[in-house]
Chain A
Amino acid sequence: MTQKLTPDESRQKFDKIFADLTRSLKIKDELARFWIFILGMFLIVGLWGWIHQINKGLGITGMRDYVSWGMYIGNFVFFVAVSLIGLLISSILHLLHFDWGKPISRVAETVAIAAVALAGLVIVMDMGRPDRFLNIFLHGRFASPIVWDVTVITTYVAISTLLFYLPLIPDLALLRDRLGDDVPKIQKKLYSVLSLGWKGNTRQFEIITHAVRIMLVLIIPVGLSIHTVTSWLFANTLRAGWDSTIFGPYFVSGAFVAGSAAVILVMYVYRQRYDLEEYFTDKSFDWMGKMLVLMCLVYLYFNINEYLVPAYKMRAAEGVHLRELFTGRWSGLFWFAQIGGIFLPVILLLFRYFRRPLPITIIAFITLVASWFKRFIIVIPTLEHPHLPIQNVPEHFVHYTPTRPEIMITLLPFFASAIIITMLAKLFPVVTMWEYAEHSGVDKKTMFEDSEK
């Protein structure tokens, strides 16, 4: 809280905040239509590829007996990783009273929801028979990390949605009461239903605060387990490159890097597109930059452990794997992922110049791309070296090369998540209005004076 404002100042200030933060709901220009059109086109192409795959089977992908987990699983790990940022920003920063994280907590939750929802879809895309998906609930084996993964992702979707929804309820009431006719009636009806008859009384605020606090604590173990369990899909095997005791924290720290980069990207787009310089300030980018450096350093530490310890011992299979990565067939991608995903942000973001909005966004983009390839590098090279060599197989079974439909299907979740993020920004303010206004000194009574009537 800064300074106490007079009721009139309060009202003026709040009017401005409301006008700024509802701009994303009202914007309807050529660019918006073009953006949706482009995303839609790519989405249709991806869906067409997927239908093709369902008809013809997974044989249309580059996956064969050796490499049976291809880009889809790499994609899956990437989306689960990105979704973890919801946990970091809206929960950990909040509980540690890092106030700069508050305006971006809804951005983080948006990214988290889009990413985790798509992570679930990616898994279905990796199935040759998606119609048998329900079998995992009917006949799943509780000893299998895959069942744990499905459980934990479902749980995380629920928690992320609730954590997005709970602080949104007062905002929904504001939208219900204060928005004019510039949004469709059906949209106003939606706000009215979702705001649950919010009046803004003390009891309601108590309930919200109480519920949010529980969720903020609950999301920490669930968020950590979602990515730890994902890492166990790999680490619970004996394969070279996966058989590691630090895979859980290794994945989680990598996830914070990817997620921070994704949030920076979305922040920048919101800031430019909806003129929200006052909300996503230079200061927040600066903080995000510092946090990204910290996360990269933690990730670097786990990377050193992950590669140096086996490289010191150089056991037969591990040796083959490490040579492939560092100097062999995969070295190009490997070094791109390591340099772009760790070294580049660590070094550049130490300088204040690079923590300004535009430079940091460019760096975040490179980091995000590198993070995707890092997952690719974790999944595929290991599979090319099975413990039991298979005999009499054609050459293309041994080495993995993704096919064109496979690439189309892999890109689909990116466009789908962009559509989800766009839709959420079009329906709901991208910053929690009441929280931000309260922080700027506006009285809660002033905010909800219309609601009480």
Chain B
Amino acid sequence: MKKKRLIIALMFLSAGFSTIYGQEWVAPESEAAVVNPLPFNNATVREGKAVYEKNCKSCHGDPGKNNPIVLTPPPPDMASEKMLANTDGSIFWKLNTGRGAMPTFKGTITDDQMWQVINFIRKFDPRNAGKLTEEALKKGTLAATINSDSTSLDITADFQGAPLAGVPVFVQVKKAFGMLDIGKVVTDANGKAIFRIPDGTAGNAEGKADFVLTFGDEFEKTQAEVQGIKVAKPVTDNPLARGNVLWSTNDRTSGWLLFAYFFVTGLVWLTILYIVIQITKIKKAGQKN
């Protein structure tokens, strides 16, 4: 009994200390009591994961891997005990308010998306173990062609000839260091979808882009590629490689810089050459007498 009381006292004490020193971020009780309107299921968790990867991962890292961005204080890991101790309502409130380096997401993502992210975070709560059914990965094949005026992609999704209806297809563009998400379409009853290539999609130096289409996570990994589509004008003037840039290749170096380098270096080494000639004269001068 005494032990129990001591532990409770210590817990209060430590909570008190952490409030003072860690400046604990606590949601108002009324907000913390708000209940997540979305059901906790595979669909909402999946949506939440997509929202998380787009908006949260760059700072908080991968849940459970404790690999946040280097900031002080470090952004907490989503799968940490401390994080999961928050109620759904209080996470929702924090997403709306923001504090310090953590911005408010009000207006950036919708309320629904916030709740989806919360569901995604809850996936790592040990109390939720077994609540999500393990689904077998679906199978399917994707095909895509570009339409005649290169403005949209015609997408077909099927499984062994049978069209896959109502399946989300994600579209990405290959960039120099990875893939850039540019959008998502859902197939219609015939397993077809049309993806309009957004204006301003960036191409390579020739103005061409390679598109990669994939199903969501519930499918076995499969992808379709449409390569070399002209989406923009070729880049003729790259501001990063203009002539007058200090750190650049020799043919792009400013003339004054090259002149200064060779003029000064040449002058100095000609003088050194002159001195070496003088040294040889010393020998001659010795032979004369």
User: A residues within 8 Å of B by Cβ?
Assistant: 141-144, 148, 151, 155, 158-159, 162, 165-166, 169, 196-199, 201, 203-204, 207-208, 210-211, 214-215, 218, 221-222, 225, 236, 389-393, 398, 452
Contact = CB atoms under 8 A, between A and B. Distances in A.
Interface stretch (B46-54, B91-99, B200-208, B272-280): B272-280
A196 B286 contact: yes
Contact of B265 (A155, A197, A201): A155
B285 A207 contact: yes
A203 B285 contact: yes
Closest 8 CB pairs of A and B: A197-B286, A143-B253, A203-B285, A211-B278, A392-B67, A196-B283, A199-B286, A204-B285
Contacts of B278: 207, 210-211
Contact of A391 (B67, B248, B286): B67
B282 A391 contact: no
B148 interface: no
Contacts, number: 97
A371 B133 CA distance: 66
A431 to B, nearest CB: 21
B246 A204 contact: no
Given A166-B279, A199-B289, A207-B278, A151 B70 contact: no
Given A141-B247, A143-B246, 5 more contacts: A142-B258, A155-B269, A155-B272, A162-B272, A211-B278
Contact of B246 (A165, A236, A393): A236
B181 to A, nearest CB: 18
Which of B249, B274, B275, B278 is packed against the most chain A CB atoms within 10 Å?
B275
A155 B253 CA distance: 23
B282 A196 contact: yes
B282 A141 contact: no
A331 B288 CA distance: 66
B177 interface: no
9 contacts: A141-B253, A142-B257, A143-B257, A155-B269, A201-B289, A218-B271, A236-B246, A392-B61, A392-B65
Contacts of A210: 278
A208 B282 contact: yes
Given A162-B275, A391-B67, A144 B247 contact: yes
B15 interface: no
A204 B289 CA distance: 11
Contacts of B248: 141, 143
B287 A197 contact: yes
Contacts of B11: none
Interface string B59-87: 00110010101110000000000000000
Contacts of B254: 143
Contacts of B70: 389-391, 393, 398
B268 interface: yes
Contacts of A203: 285, 288
A197 B268 CA distance: 28
Q: Which of A142, A148, A236, A390 has the most CB of B within 10 A?
A: A142
A215 B286 contact: no
Interface of B is mostly: helix
A211 B279 CA distance: 8
A155 B261 CA distance: 13
Contact of A198 (B58, B272, B282): B282
Contacts of A398: 70
Contacts of B261: 142, 148, 151
B236 interface: no
Nearest to A218: B271
B128 interface: no
Contact of B275 (A196, A215, A452): A215
A211 B276 CA distance: 9
A204 B253 contact: no
B268 A198 contact: no
Contacts of A222: 268
A392 B268 CA distance: 49
Name, among B65, B253, B285, the residue most crowded by chain A CB atoms within 10 Å (CB to CB): B285
B250 interface: yes
Contacts of A390: 70
Contacts of B58: 391
Nearest to A162: B275
Contact of A211 (B275, B283, B285, B286): B275
B282 A151 contact: no
A421 B268 CA distance: 27
B233 interface: no
Contacts of A211: 275, 278-279
A197 B257 contact: no
B281 interface: yes
A161 to B, nearest CB: 10
B250 A143 contact: yes
B274 A214 contact: yes
Contacts of A392: 61-62, 65, 67
A452 B285 CA distance: 12
B151 to A, nearest CB: 35
A70 B26 CA distance: 43
B74 to A, nearest CB: 11
B271 A389 contact: no
Contacts of A166: 275, 279
A96 to B, nearest CB: 21
B261 to A, nearest CB: 5
B250 A198 contact: no
A110 B262 CA distance: 29
A221 B271 CA distance: 13
B249 A141 contact: yes
B263 to A, nearest CB: 12
> Which of A165, A215, A225, A392 neighbours the largest number of chain B CB atoms within 10 Å of its CB?
A392
